[in-house]
Structure 1
Amino acid sequence: MIGTALLALGLVLIVEGLAYALAPSLIERMLEMLRLMAEDQRRVIGLIAITAGVVLVWAAKMLGA
């Protein structure tokens, strides 16, 4: 269980790091767009991301990961 959590955290850090390393200007534009969005819209995006993450973890577990 701890190993799986560490693996997931490591993969998230790799993806986040790649985004900042390869496209820092894109990150800046995305942050500006987020600032312009209403708080409720950001909350919905967060809930959608959580739901998608849970579905992906569930699918991976069902496939034997």
Structure 2
Amino acid sequence: MPIKTIKQKQQFHIPYSLKCAIKMTFLGVTLTSYCFHHLDRKLEAVSAKENSSSFGERAAQVT
């Protein structure tokens, strides 16, 4: 009888820890993708500023 209860506990415990791990992984992936999205936007803005400024400098050099 005690052996059976131990097996049942293990069967319940493993899926729970798996669910927790999946949740944590999902949260981590969501956070990293969110951060990378914002970083990409910042980099795009910076590169756009650099491109516009260099374009303005080129226009000034031409004229």
TM, length-normalised to structure 1: 0.41
Higher helix share: 2
TM, length-normalised to structure 2: 0.42
Higher Cα Rg, which structure:
2
